[in-house]
Amino acid sequence: MGGSFESKVVIVTGAAGGMGRATAVAFGAAGAAVVVADVAAGAEETAELVRAAGGRAEAALVDVADAAQVDAMVAVATGTFGGLDAAVNAAAIEIEETALAECEEATFDRVIAVNLKGIFLTMRAEVRAMLALGRGGAIVNIGSTNSFRPQEHQCAYTASKHGVLGITRNAAIEYARHGIRINAISPGPIDTPMLRGAMARRGRDPLDVQQRLSLLGRFGEPEEIAKAALWLCSDDSSFTIGHALAVDGGYLAR
């Protein structure tokens, strides 16, 4: 899991549940001080879980599509905990139910605002803080297997996740010379409330989804994404830059 994060300060967005919560708790168990960020009130509950795991934590309510709120979130890391060493940007939504021709403009705009603009704003604020501190750092953006293989009725989500991959690689090129390593994770079918909600809205059988989207015939667990995120933020991955790590049960290999 990337070893110890004692004395490290980490931001995790989308941390009220699912992959974000598991990642925040894993950082806490590894000794980090964690800014637990989410638009949902569950962020404080996650912060309590981080503390119970042995880390320090501060909850921050933030809409990642709002630049002022994102800047305030990063200020919690630098002001309350005195720095910023790593960030995992996991905040995302998936709210579509139709093909492209029926997709409402407002739906498209909201998905892009959270999933792609949110990554831009959080990375921008995180990189600025890391540059000011002058000690490098690591950033991991949560993409999707949709970055490579789209699913039906997800035009906005797929577009956003393609964008996450592109902006990750571009930023990786720009900031590697400053000691800031930027990578992405492409999760497959991970057993989260977002996945369960998407299946329910579409009337999908979870067993069928497991068989179609995983060579292992099961959903991944949020903790499996957390382990990958901690590795990418650790010195164990010191030569890994601009990479999209698939944690997908073999889906992309099929």
Please name every residue paired with 87 in a beta bridge, in sequence order, or none if there are none: 11, 139
92 neighbors 114 (Cβ within 8 angstroms): yes
Residue 52 CB contacts under 8 Å (≥ 6 apart), including other chains:
none
Q: Give the span between the Cα atoms of 27 and 55, in whole angstroms.
A: 7
Rounded-to-10 torsion of CA 236, 234, 116, 120: -120
Q: Three-class SS of residue 13?
A: strand
Can 157 be counted among the known catalytic residues?
yes
Please name every residue paired with 86 in a beta bridge, in sequence order, or none if there are none: 10, 138
Strand duo 180-187 + 56-61: pairing = unpaired
List the catalytic residue out of 157, 175, 219, 251: 157
Closest C-alpha among 160, 179, 182 to residue 171: 182
Q: Give the span between the Cα atoms of 249 and 143, in whole angstroms.
A: 15
168 neighbors 181 (Cβ within 8 angstroms): no
Q: Give the span between the Cα atoms of 67 and 34, in whole angstroms.
A: 20
Q: Three-class SS of residue 2?
A: coil
Closest C-alpha among 137, 132, 194 to residue 161: 194
Which letter does DSSP use for residue 165 in this model?
H
Q: Annotated catalytic sites, by residue?
A: 157
